[in-house]
Amino acid sequence: MAKLYISEFQFMGANGYDEASMARQPPLVNQVVDFTAGVAASAAFSASTTFVRVWSDAQCCVKYGTAPTATVNDMPMAASQPEYCGVTPGQKVSAIIL
């Protein structure tokens, strides 16, 4: 199976400041996108989301935007390696198996 796990966050650090490279828990939203059958996109990020943590159980490529469609030429992600990315509320992330 190929799934992309997405956790949306608003703040970094224990007090909501960028003083530490860690996500402030709990996440605002958790999503799972199944892209086993081909390219798939998440739901739009919440109005408070400013960054996301993504983790995939398969090697893939991801693309962020308002209506993204990932291709094998987009940003590659290794399986089982989390990535943190700054985003804009309302954006989505799309994934495709690499």
Q: pLDDT at residue 56 above 60?
A: yes
Closest CA to 24 of 64, 53, 56, 55: 53
Q: How many residues would you count in the chain?
A: 98
Tokens for 5, please give them: 């796990």
Closest CA to 24 of 41, 48, 4, 1: 48
Instruction: Check whether 17 has a pLDDT greater than 60.
Output: no
pLDDT value of position 21: 65
